[in-house]
Amino acid sequence: MSRRLVLAVVAGLVAATAQADFNSLVRAVESQPRLHRVWTPGISLARLAVRIAHPEGVHDFQLAVFEGQGRFDDHQFEAILRTSGDRPMVQVHSNRTGETTVIWARPVGNDLFEMLLMAHDPGDDTVVLRAVIDAEKLAHEIADPRHAAEIARR
C-alpha cells in the first residue's frame, strides 16, 4: 500500500512540474513585446474530451496561441530556454527571419511522455503546446507504412 502511495505522489509531482513548465513558457512568451494571447473558445471542452477518450494515444494537452508582430532576439530566446530545467530536443532560432522553434520531451509515466513545443513565426501566430502522448501508440503510427505514404503525399 505504501508503495502505491509513493508512486502516486511521484506521479503528481511529475505532472505538476510538466504543467509548471507549460505555464512558465506561456508567461515567457506573453512577456515579449507586441505579442498577446488569443482566447481559444471551446479548448476546455476539447481537453476534457481528450482526457476521457485518449484519441490516437493523446492523454492530455494544453494550448496557448499568441498573435502579433513580435520577434525574439537572442536574449529573449535564452529566456524561453530557461523556462524548463530540461534540455530541449530541438532548438532553432533564426536571427535572419526571426523564426523560433523549441521542443522538449520527457517521460512522465508508464509508456507516456510529455512534449512541450513552442513555435514562433514573426509574420504569423505563435503557438505553445503541451501534450501527453502514449509512446507505443505513436511508435505504431509512425511505423505504419500507410501513414508514412499519407504524410509523403502532403
Element (H, E) at 148: helix 145-153
Does residue 111 sit in helix, strand or coil? Answer: coil
Considering only CA atoms, give the Rg of the chain. 17
Contact 131, 60 (CB under 8 A): yes
Task: Read off the C-alpha cell for 57.
Answer: 494515444
Burial class of residue 138 (count of CB atoms within 10 Å of its CB; 0-12, 13-18, 19+): middle
Q: pLDDT digit of tens for each residue in the chain (154 aa)?
A: 444 433 333 344 344 344 458 998 898 888 888 888 999 899 989 999 989 988 888 999 999 999 988 777 777 777 777 777 778 888 888 888 888 888 998 888 888 999 999 998 887 889 999 999 998 888 887 787 776 667 666 6
Element (H, E) at 104: strand 100-109
The DSSP symbol for 89 reads S
Element (H, E) at 53: helix 43-53
- CB neighbours of residue 118 within 10 Å: 27
Query: Phi, psi (5° rounding) for residue 94?
Result: -100, 120
Q: Which residues contact 107 (CB under 8 A, 6 or more apart)?
A: 113, 114, 135
